Structure 1
Amino acid sequence: MRTVPVSEFMPTLRQLVSVVLPMQLEQAIVASAVRFCRGSGVVMASRTFCQVYEGQTINIVRDSAVNRRADGILKASDSALITSDGVALQPDRDYHALSLDDVFFLRDAQDVTITCTVEPVLGAKELPAKLYDDWLSGICAGAAARLYAMPDSLDPNLHAHYEREFVETMRQAMRWRLETSPSMSPSAPVRKREFF
């Protein structure tokens, strides 16, 4: 996964907020990126295993090659879709989710693919390039809203404006993800019921 330094977001954010220290800008950008990733799910990671064994625990993102290439800036942010030979595995029957990043398998499985949404860790110095390339204005609006919400802000009314812009961009990103990745869309399980 390609990454870009947080400093690449600064020129755009500087157009929205002018009187803040650079360290506060970076923290606001990373916090906005985390919130954006959680709310929209646009950054995804996937791992494939030829074989997993009963009793095996797998780290979805932390130990993945994607995270090693990104210098450990990513963590899982939502539940994972786990398939074996193209068929979705069922929680509590085939595996237990120990945490957002750890999965404990209850049975052997072959050709296992684990896909989940990811987010940057707080304090990251780099962010996924997808956020910069596709959602730059939304991330910066979220950072600006965060900075204008501070008690010593020059114009606290701008917080509401940038917050609306951030939320709208996040919703647009979520709609895009749901339309382009229907297999990751949440779906209610089909329940068999008998009445009388």
Structure 2
Amino acid sequence: MSERERPGRRGFFREVVNRYVVPAAEFVEEKLDRQTRPLRFLRPPGAGSDFLELCSKCHACVEACPANAIFPDRSSDGLTASTPMIRADHQPCVVCDDLACMPACPTGALTLLTRDAIRMGVARVDWDQCERTHNVECTTCVDLCPIGASALTIERDRIVVGDGCVGCGVCEHACPTRPRAIVVEPEG
């Protein structure tokens, strides 16, 4: 075997590793990371610190939600089992015009609030994941935010989470990166 063939073989194997093995390993690592991460969920708009004590698990808020964002918690046991929750990565709260879930609650577990008073969580940006950090002109989260500039803006090419963020999760759901560059951390 001549010296000329070796760089070709090395190049071939390097290409195979970079094209197939590295992406496969990253995919498996991401799947394993997801399995070990605790389930992250939000409570419906209007849920306060006494939500678990007041919620009767009647699911009136689940039925009232026009976006089908609220569903019963089937992942827990005990006190939290079957209580209403929102998984922003699956279907976010769209902060609908009539905020139907809050008045549907017969027990007062969901307090009637105005749109700007809702606090389900707060968005957090992972700059290593955000496409804007990598010079990609992405404005998806800002464009789709139902609250607007008081929640998300762009300043000096960075996404800025403002005091108006209600934690609805629309930004997280719409984020094109995987894992998502913007996620909503629950209140409390």
TM-score clears 0.5? no
Name the TM-score, length of structure 1 as normaliser.
Answer: 0.26
* Bigger proportion of residues as strand: 1
Higher radius of gyration, 1 or 2: 2
Q: Which has the higher contact order (CA 8 A, sep 6+)?
A: 1
